[in-house]
Amino acid sequence: MSILSGKNILLGVTAGIAAYKTAHLVRLFIKAGAHVKVVMTPASKDFVTPLTLSTLSQNPVYSTFFDKDEENEEWNSHVDLGLWADYMVVAPATANTLSKMANGVCDNLLLATYLSAKCKVYFAPAMDLDMYKHPSTKKSIESLQSFGNVFIPPSTGFLASGLEGEGRMEEPENIVSFIEKDIVKGLPLFNKKVLITAGPTYEAIDPVRFIGNHSSGKMGFELAKEAANLGAEVFLISGPSNEIVSNSLIQRIDVVSAEEMYNEVHKIYNTVNIAILSAAVADYKPKSIANQKIKKASDSMSIELVKTHDILASLGKIKKQQFLVGFALETNDEIKNAKKKLISKNLDLIVLNSLQDKGAGFKKTTNKVTIIDKFEKISEFGLKSKAKVAQDIFNEILNSIYA
């Protein structure tokens, strides 16, 4: 999943031959999971048709202030378009449009929308070699950057004039990659590494049977998604789970047993900034595992159990710069038991679940948590989707780290 997934992207298309590339650019934004609307200058329609971009974007294309038919005129609000967008991308940006953007000229819908936009604006110039090198073009680019707009430099290659040089609009794949990387750089967990454990562990009795629990892994997976949304490189170590995650910033590592999870966590722990252990790890495992399926030979069967490694406690003992977060699932004396775990395991934060709360617990899409920090400050939250709970947890983490 791309960082652009779910975002609203407003693409501004101007009258350059590179406008033919915008069809592919729209497709790439859609493939990344973004919602796309297109605003064209009137002259750009000589290079690529509104029908093409409308079909690909799955939205109407705008080029005039009014849409006219036989009986009605409908106003295309540049203000609404500007407010709708999470990001605006002007590509190709001709020398003419760059100059108008830099000087506040407002003689078409695209320019009016640009001047109304409250979001970050990217612009990708496209023009002939000498036009790009001209001092007025350079001045326009510098002015736009001084406004906070983001410059996507053109590449060098064959130009429509037959010349070869700088001024060719960057390829659509590179534009999308440039924007993704720029967005990530501005996120609070950029250049940070986050370790998250999720799901249950299965402790084998024989080749067929195991001791496990009802954890689905939903909470841990939502935490991994939120960490990636905040720009972190994420290591998601998961026990058996049907949950799916797809994000280039998330590396999923599948394990089965508590022993496997312990080993994988310790391989990574010293390299991370934040560790959140949300997995429901078995406290005990069979002392010995049968090589063959145990046959039903009597009315009862005894299995000797031994303790598994306490992964959370082991990390608390070797903690250096890491911010360590644990989970506590309790059925009685919830706050008291959570505080005890917070202190005994050297945590920075503990997230308390109670099975007494309706809508919380295993396999639910919702959760209700109480978060306690190392100063024993208690923050209680209502019943929410696990995605919203993940946001609350990371808000508490960021507030603690950057307080």
> What pLDDT, in 10s, does the model give residues 239-254?
999 999 988 899 999 9
Q: Do 393 and 285 sit in the same domain of this protein?
A: yes
Write down the pLDDT at residue 73.
Answer: 66
User: How many residues belong to the chain?
Assistant: 403
What amino acid positions are annotated as catalytic residues? 213
278 found inside a domain: yes
pLDDT tens per residue, range 138-158: 999 999 999 999 999 999 887
Q: Do 289 and 260 sit in the same domain of this protein?
A: yes
User: Taking the chain (403 residues) in consecutive chunks of 10 residues, what is each chunk's mean pLDDT?
Assistant: 89 96 98 96 96 97 79 78 96 98 96 96 95 96 98 88 85 96 93 97 95 93 96 96 90 97 98 97 95 88 94 97 93 88 96 74 82 94 94 96 79
Q: Do 91 and 217 sit in the same domain of this protein?
A: no
Q: Do 168 and 270 sit in the same domain of this protein?
A: no
165, 185, 205: which is the final residue of a domain?
185
150, 185, 220: which is the final residue of a domain?
185
Q: Domain range spanning residue 25?
A: 8-185
State which H helix or E strand residue 216 sits in: none
What backbone torsions phi and psi does residue 261 show, to the nearest 5 degrees? -65, -40
2 found inside a domain: no
Q: What is the total count of domains within the chain? A: 2
Which residues, at least 6 apart from 60, have a Cβ–Cβ distance to it below 8 Å? Answer: 37, 54
CA dihedral sign of residues 384, 387, 393, 399: negative
Strands 384-385 and 366-367, bridge-based pairing: antiparallel
CB 176 within 8 A of CB 261: no
- What percentage of the chain reaches a pLDDT higher than 70? 96
How many whole angstroms separate alpha carbon 348 and alpha carbon 401?
Answer: 10
Q: Do 366 and 218 sit in the same domain of this protein?
A: yes
313 found inside a domain: yes
154, 185, 216: which is the final residue of a domain?
185
How many whole angstroms separate alpha carbon 12 and alpha carbon 109?
Answer: 10
Q: Would you tell me how many other CB atoms lie within 10 Å of the CB of residue 309? A: 16
In a 3-state reduction of DSSP, which class is residue 358? coil
51 found inside a domain: yes
Write down the pLDDT at residue 16.
Answer: 94
DSSP code string of 239-293 = -S-------TTEEEEE--SHHHHHHHHHHHGGG-SEEEE--B--SEEESS--SSP
Q: Do 123 and 72 sit in the same domain of this protein?
A: yes
How many whole angstroms separate alpha carbon 90 and alpha carbon 131?
Answer: 18
1 found inside a domain: no
Extract the annotated binding site for CTP.
283, 293, 327, 341, 345
pLDDT tens per residue, range 9-45: 999 999 999 999 999 999 999 999 999 999 999 999 9
